């Protein structure tokens, strides 16, 4: 047995061992969760990370603060009183004449003195309703008592689902609607590599200075066009109590969504990252509808395709390609003439050459019905006849198989 050499030396060795265990590195690595978090932080929007205990939410925040060189201030929401966030009353010499000021807590004063920082509100789902109410002004207006937090302070919170939270509460709808909600899950490869000493590196998105005006215009058009078409989604408070504690659409959350689209566009973020952010702001249903609308905003103008059918560049995705071809036919229907009709056939031939033949069947059938008596059938239509015929034969065969199967039951 090794003889005991004294508590001091052993503790020193333990400290050395702990230092070695904590000596980790970071590396650039694709991580859509981390990218979504850093983009929301850059957009100065409060973020709420949802995840099971031990999933790495707190570790991610520590790493984020270190990477962004922001001092981290952690506040456990559930162990504070409402007055800790609304301010503690301090009676002065003349309360009747000067009133009673609300003094902020020491951590808020330190943030103001630093001028910047990352405020981490942990265990938010275990904070009772009275504390959640006191947090409303902090999260939205960045005010604590009479103190205004500086613009350089960002707010991130973390919460466990009620089923796994200690004495958990559902988040109140007013507080939930102030956050971008991100579901935080573990990635096996990231965890294994991190335990080996290398974690993903959090970096702020690189914004292109040239495209900022266009990014804002694109975001405004996307949200405004969508809400014009879907006015019922401007404000929809969920009926279910649990859903009210998550992301749902309101004028406030749509404004946050607009900001996130502008930042994601300026940073050229992936659609996966934007999907996490949009669905985490207005909810899955409205978010997915908006994302589908964004896809269609990038579609080529039918008039441009009709003006230069030979140079037409069509989307690769089948649903988007179908939408473009339908748009070309609709444009000819709206303003029919012989030249535009011929150009539409040329676009359909281009689609046949570069994609699945079945996508041209419906637009070709519709376009054929628009022919006037004095319009000659273009030679290019013969190239489409085979695709249309084959598709119809396939449909008839499928119908016969289905009828036979039904009769055999």
Is-contact 147 47, C-beta < 8 A? no
Q: Is residue 133 within 8 Å of 172, Cβ to Cβ?
A: yes
Q: Coil, helix or strand for 27?
A: strand
Query: Which fold does the domain 28-89+102-200 belong to in CATH?
Result: Rossmann fold (3.40.50)
CB 235 within 8 A of CB 251: yes
Give CA separation, 385 vs 144, 245, 307, 348, 365, in Å: 72, 55, 24, 11, 10
Q: What is the phi-psi region of residue 390: left when phi exceeds 0, alpha when psi lies from -120 to 50, beta otherwise?
A: alpha
CB atoms closer than 10 angstroms to residue 339: 8
Residue 139 and residue 157: Cα distance in Å, rounded? 10
Indicate whether this model's pTM tops 0.85: no
Three-state secondary structure of 144-182: ECCEECCCEEEEEEEECCHHHCCCCCCCCHHHHCCCEEE
Helix (H) or strand (E) holding 348: helix 338-354
Please state, in angstroms and rounded to a whole number, the distance separating the CA atoms of residues 300 and 297.
Answer: 8
Q: How far apart are CA 123 and CA 193, in angstroms?
A: 27
The answer to whether 205 and 33 have CB atoms below 8 angstroms apart is no
Instruction: Please give the chain's pLDDT, 409 residues, in tens.
Output: 455 555 568 888 899 999 998 888 888 888 889 999 999 999 999 999 998 887 878 888 888 888 888 999 999 988 888 888 877 777 666 666 666 677 788 889 999 999 999 999 988 888 888 888 889 989 988 988 778 999 999 999 998 886 655 566 788 999 999 999 999 888 888 888 888 888 888 788 888 777 899 999 999 999 998 998 889 999 999 988 888 999 999 999 999 999 999 999 999 999 999 999 999 999 999 999 999 888 877 788 888 899 998 888 888 888 788 888 988 999 999 899 999 998 998 898 888 888 887 888 888 888 888 888 888 877 767 667 665 554 444 445 445 545 655 565 5
Q: Kindly list the distances between the CA atom of residue 236 and the CA atoms of 120, 233, 290, in Å, as whole numbers in the listed order.
A: 29, 6, 15
């Amino acid at each position: 047995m090794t003889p005991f050499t004294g508590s001091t030396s052993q503790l020193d060795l333990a400290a050395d061992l702990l230092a070695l265990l904590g000596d980790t590195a970071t590396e650039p690595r694709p991580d859509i969760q981390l990218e979504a978090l850093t983009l929301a932080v850059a957009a100065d929007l409060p973020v709420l990370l949802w995840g099971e205990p031990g999933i790495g939410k707190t570790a991610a925040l520590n790493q984020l603060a270190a990477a962004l060189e922001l001092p981290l201030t952690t506040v456990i929401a559930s162990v504070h009183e409402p007055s800790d966030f609304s301010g503690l009353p301090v009676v002065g010499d003349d309360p009747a004449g000067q009133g009673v000021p609300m003094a902020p807590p020491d951590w808020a004063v330190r943030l103001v003195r630093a001028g910047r920082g990352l405020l981490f509100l942990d265990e938010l789902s275990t904070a009772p309703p009275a504390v959640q109410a006191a947090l409303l002004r902090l999260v939205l207006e960045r005010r604590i008592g009479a103190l205004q937090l500086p613009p350089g302070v960002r707010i991130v919170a973390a919460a466990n689902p009620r089923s796994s939270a200690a004495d958990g509460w559902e988040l109140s709808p007013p507080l939930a609607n102030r956050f971008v909600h991100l579901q935080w899950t573990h990635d096996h490869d990231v965890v294994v590599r991190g335990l080996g000493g290398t974690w993903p590196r959090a970096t702020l998105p690189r914004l292109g200075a040239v495209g900022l005006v266009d990014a804002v215009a694109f975001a405004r058009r996307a949200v405004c066009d969508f809400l014009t078409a879907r006015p019922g989604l401007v404000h929809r408070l969920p009926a279910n109590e649990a859903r009210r504690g998550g992301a749902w659409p309101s004028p406030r959350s749509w404004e946050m969504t607009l900001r996130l689209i502008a930042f994601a566009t300026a940073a050229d973020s992936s659609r996966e990252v934007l999907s996490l952010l949009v669905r985490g702001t207005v909810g899955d249903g409205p978010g997915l509808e908006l994302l589908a609308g964004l896809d269609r905003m990038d579609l080529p103008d039918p008039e441009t395709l009709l003006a230069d059918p030979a140079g037409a560049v069509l989307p690769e995705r089948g649903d988007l390609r179908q939408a473009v071809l339908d748009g070309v036919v609709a444009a000819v229907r709206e303003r029919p003439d012989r030249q535009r009709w011929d150009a539409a056939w040329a676009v359909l031939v281009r689609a046949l050459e570069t994609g699945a033949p079945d996508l041209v069947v419906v637009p070709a059938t519709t376009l054929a019905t628009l022919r006037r008596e004095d319009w000659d059938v273009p030679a290019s239509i013969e190239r489409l006849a085979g695709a249309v015929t084959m598709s119809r034969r396939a449909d008839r065969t499928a119908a016969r198989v289905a009828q036979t199967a039904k009769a055999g039951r």
